[in-house]
């Protein structure tokens, strides 16, 4: 969901630079624009109502298939989110909807308000979808006769509609919208006052430099903003806090604080945010702290430490950079070929941009998903190693504790007891969140597969070594691709005065 919100904002950035080349409807066709804009919102809303009713029916009429309702609910939620993204994309690129609110030439400092109006159909589709799912969500949390997940923990508050909507808006929208609004505001200002910036500095790339600098600063300090949006407080002193601090020190983790994520006891999750230690936070939800054992909490905390210690966020950024190089390089190469053949038309530009979109979809759809799933397993492995018990408390045969009271180096081995501890935490998270054990996603393998994979590593040191080599090679490959791609890019732009696609545009009749 967070990625979908990022994509929705990215559409606004892209449309501002695109100039409306993909628009299919004529400027005077306001009816068609409104039909597309309102139509996708209605489709998502109606689809959510149907999905909620179907989920309830499956639970009541298929008791022999307890995962059927959960699986259907999660799959339809993904489909509805995808429909909202595609529908909003069609509104932004195929209609004049964004142009109705384009005031950037006159009032760059107010364009951000107009951008939020342009974004409103997407926001409306999300809010209507959550509204339709609210009765089902309450039932899923044990507040009715339909129970798809474990009942709410004793003493937790019930999810009123206001609390429910506040949580979803904060967790799925504002957490992305906050930083993105700051960056979008800067983009509008640098675009509106581009000539002024260029004349002041005497540098043609001054607007891009300002935007890039602000984006980096916002990204770096975003955790300071997000901790407020997500309603967090410092994890209080006590046995749990002491054990987590000890675990963090032993793992070499530096951070600003450990926070309790307040969700009225209904969020069972953990997260880490921030690249640099002064603004890095580890979040543990109140529901997780209340519903899991101290050992399971340590295991979940260890998983978040694993993301930091293995620099997953940095490698994701590196992947994004390499993906951009691949997409931009492909587009420039194709445009250069068309220019050499004197194919200079609007259709040529659309073809270049269309292929660029296709390359980006392939790179992110296949590459990012593959990398993300393996990073999650690497974090699982790190978490299991964090909760490795002493030899006298290991209850399963493993390579770390041979059984004679001694321990071998941690190297290519994983304690079977530690793997079981983390597996139990994964299982608990799945049950409490109502996630089917075999439900996989683009970024995560299924809970069931992750459990089986981790336990297989404990029983097969060779497989463990192979897995760690795959991760090492993937990270090294990203670094090599970034260095080589940057070198090629610098060498190319030192010899080329202007991108080929801009040359094609300049050749078109005005």
- Please indicate, yes or no, whether residues 224 and 329 belong to a single structural domain of this protein: no
The distance in angstroms from the start CA to the end CA of the chain is: 41
Q: What CA–CA distance (Å, rounded) separates 38 from 91?
A: 9
In a domain, 174, yes or no: yes
To which H or E segment does residue 285 belong? strand 281-285
pLDDT for the residue 258: 93
- Please indicate, yes or no, whether residues 211 and 340 belong to a single structural domain of this protein: no
Taking only the tens place, the pLDDT of each residue in 61-103 is 877 776 788 888 888 999 999 999 999 999 999 999 999 999 9
In a domain, 376, yes or no: yes
Of 409, 433, 203, nearest to 300 by C-alpha is: 433
The domain boundary residue, chosen from 230, 248, 268: 230
Angle at the Cα of 120 from the Cα atoms of 117 and 121, rounded to 5 degrees: 130
Of 351, 345, 380, nearest to 504 by C-alpha is: 345
Query: 365 is written with which tokens?
Result: 């759809």
In a domain, 269, yes or no: no
- Please indicate, yes or no, whether residues 319 and 187 belong to a single structural domain of this protein: no
- Please indicate, yes or no, whether residues 347 and 220 belong to a single structural domain of this protein: no
- Please indicate, yes or no, whether residues 223 and 313 belong to a single structural domain of this protein: no
The domain boundary residue, chosen from 230, 249, 265: 230
- Please indicate, yes or no, whether residues 194 and 69 belong to a single structural domain of this protein: yes
Q: How many domains does the chain have?
A: 2
- Please indicate, yes or no, whether residues 1 and 100 belong to a single structural domain of this protein: yes
In a domain, 380, yes or no: yes
Q: Which domain holds residue 151?
A: 1-230
- Please indicate, yes or no, whether residues 326 and 201 belong to a single structural domain of this protein: no
CB within 8 A of 94, min separation 6: which ones? 22, 23, 24, 25, 36
In a domain, 245, yes or no: no
In a domain, 240, yes or no: no
pLDDT for the residue 472: 96
- Please indicate, yes or no, whether residues 464 and 336 belong to a single structural domain of this protein: yes
- Please indicate, yes or no, whether residues 226 and 82 belong to a single structural domain of this protein: yes
Q: Which residue stretches of the chain have pLDDT < 50?
A: 143-156, 408-410
Q: How distant is the alpha carbon of residue 385 from its chain centre?
A: 26
Q: What CA–CA distance (Å, rounded) separates 302 from 422?
A: 9
The domain boundary residue, chosen from 230, 256, 276: 230
Q: What CA–CA distance (Å, rounded) separates 340 from 328?
A: 18
Model pTM score: 0.84
pLDDT for the residue 351: 86
In a domain, 487, yes or no: yes
- Please indicate, yes or no, whether residues 317 and 192 belong to a single structural domain of this protein: no
The DSSP-derived string for 380-441 is HHHHHHHTPPPGGG--S--SS--SSS----STT---HHHHHHHHHHHHHHHHHHT--TT---
- Please indicate, yes or no, whether residues 207 and 335 belong to a single structural domain of this protein: no
Q: Is the separation of the CB atoms in 149 and 431 below 8 Å?
A: yes
In a domain, 186, yes or no: yes
């Amino acid at each position: 969901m967070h990625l979908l919100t990022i994509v929705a904002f990215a559409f606004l950035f892209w449309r501002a630079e695109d100039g409306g080349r993909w628009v299919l409807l004529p400027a005077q066709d306001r009816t068609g624009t409104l039909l597309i804009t309102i139509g996708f919102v209605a489709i998502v809303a109606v689809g959510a109502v149907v999905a909620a009713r179907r989920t309830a029916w499956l639970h009541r009429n298929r008791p022999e298939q307890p995962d059927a309702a959960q699986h259907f609910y999660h799959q339809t939620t993904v489909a509805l989110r995808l429909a909202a993204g595609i529908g909003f994309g069609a509104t932004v690129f195929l209609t004049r909807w964004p142009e109705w609110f384009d005031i950037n030439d006159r009032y760059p400092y107010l364009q951000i308000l107009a951008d939020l109006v342009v974004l409103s159909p997407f926001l409306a589709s999300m809010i209507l979808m959550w509204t339709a799912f609210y009765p089902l969500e309450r039932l899923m949390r044990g507040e009715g006769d339909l129970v798809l997940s474990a009942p709410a923990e004793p003493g937790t508050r019930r999810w009123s509609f206001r609390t429910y909507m506040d949580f979803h808006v904060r967790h799925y929208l504002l957490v992305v919208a906050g930083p993105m609004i700051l960056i979008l505001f800067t983009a509008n200002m640098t675009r509106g006052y581009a000539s002024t910036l260029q004349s002041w500095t005497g540098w043609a790339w001054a607007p891009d430099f300002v935007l890039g600098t602000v984006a980096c600063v916002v990204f770096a300090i975003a955790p300071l903003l997000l901790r407020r949006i997500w309603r967090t407080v410092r994890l209080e002193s006590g046995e749990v806090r002491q054990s987590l601090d000890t675990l963090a020190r032993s793992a070499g983790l530096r951070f600003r604080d450990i926070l309790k994520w307040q969700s009225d006891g209904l969020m069972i999750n953990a997260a880490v945010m921030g690249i640099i230690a002064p603004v890095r936070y580890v979040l543990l939800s109140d529901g997780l702290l209340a519903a899991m054992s101290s050992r399971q909490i340590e295991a979940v905390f260890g998983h978040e430490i694993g993301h930091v210690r293995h620099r997953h966020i940095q490698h994701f950024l590196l992947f994004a950079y390499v993906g951009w190089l691949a997409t931009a390089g492909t587009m420039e190469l194709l445009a250069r070929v068309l220019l050499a053949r004197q194919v200079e038309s609007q259709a040529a530009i659309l073809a270049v941009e269309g292929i660029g979109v296709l390359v980006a979809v392939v790179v992110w759809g296949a590459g990012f998903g593959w990398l993300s799933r393996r990073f999650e397993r690497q974090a699982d492995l790190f978490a299991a190693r964090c909760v490795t018990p002493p030899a006298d408390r290991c209850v399963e045969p493993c390579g770390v504790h041979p059984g004679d009271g001694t321990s071998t180096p941690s190297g290519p081995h994983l304690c079977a007891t530690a793997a079981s501890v983390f597996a139990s935490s994964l299982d608990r998270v799945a049950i409490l969140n109502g996630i089917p054990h075999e439900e996989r996603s683009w970024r995560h393998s299924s809970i069931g597969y992750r459990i089986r994979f981790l336990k297989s590593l404990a029983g097969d040191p060779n497989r463990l070594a192979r897995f760690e080599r795959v991760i090492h090679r993937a990270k090294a490959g990203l670094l090599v691709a970034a260095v080589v791609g940057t070198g090629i890019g610098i060498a190319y732009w030192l010899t080329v005065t202007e991108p080929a696609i801009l040359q094609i545009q300049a050749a078109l009749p005005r």
